[in-house]
Structure 1
């Protein structure tokens, strides 16, 4: 599978995750979000940027429980809870946000 971003073809796997993490940029994230009928807001970017930093540091995409805790520590308790994250990423905060962030599917996600 592939998506078109600014005239460039970006390869994805059958679930829509990038096959090459280096293909990611903010435009790619916008296209992936549009496929899910979402418009990325500053709040989405906060979580996406957090995920990219986390991945860079630990070389792993966090599962939802780890993500929720880590976001709570960094961005505050009002954002480190499932309801807030599911409001932003209705298809699953870890799964959907990692896809938008150009990361592999989080460990433990079905």
Structure 2
């Protein structure tokens, strides 16, 4: 397995750069992973990342993009629960890219 180093500490990642251990995640790791994805994290990004982590803690699964969009719409409002908004934040795929930055496993069904 590959490793990344953040603030002098090493973390194991899979071949696509997803954290192997969910408990290794912290905000510094998120910033590092976001940089590797060419994403500069804003409050809107953190809102989605924290939503994803809460969702994972509740359901033990990373949501696919349709489920993510619908769930965010319910919790954060229709203006945020749509694909256009999420793709503006995470242009390489709201589920896949956001889950990676949030330290979650790659959602099932993502290529």
Question: What TM bracket, shorter-length normalisation?
Answer: over 0.9
Aligned to 1:79: 80
Aligned to 2:34: 33
Aligned to 1:108: 109
| Deviation (angstroms), 1:98 | 0.3
1:1-110 residue pairs with structure 2 within 5 A? 1-110=2-111
- Does the residue aligned with 1:27 lie in a helix, a strand or coil? helix
Q: Which runs of no fewer than 5 residues in structure 1 stay unpaired?
A: none
Distance 1:3 1:35 in 2: 11
**Paired residue total:** 110
| Deviation (angstroms), 1:107 | 1.3
Q: Which runs of no fewer than 5 residues in structure 2 stay unpaired?
A: none
Runs of 4+ in structure 1 off by over 4 angstroms are none
- Does the residue aligned with 2:4 lie in a helix, a strand or coil? strand
Distance 2:44 2:80 in 1: 9
**Cα RMSD (Å) of the superposition?**
0.6
TM-score, normalised by the number of residues in structure 2: 0.97
Distance 2:109 2:98 in 1: 15
Distance 1:56 1:100 in 2: 16
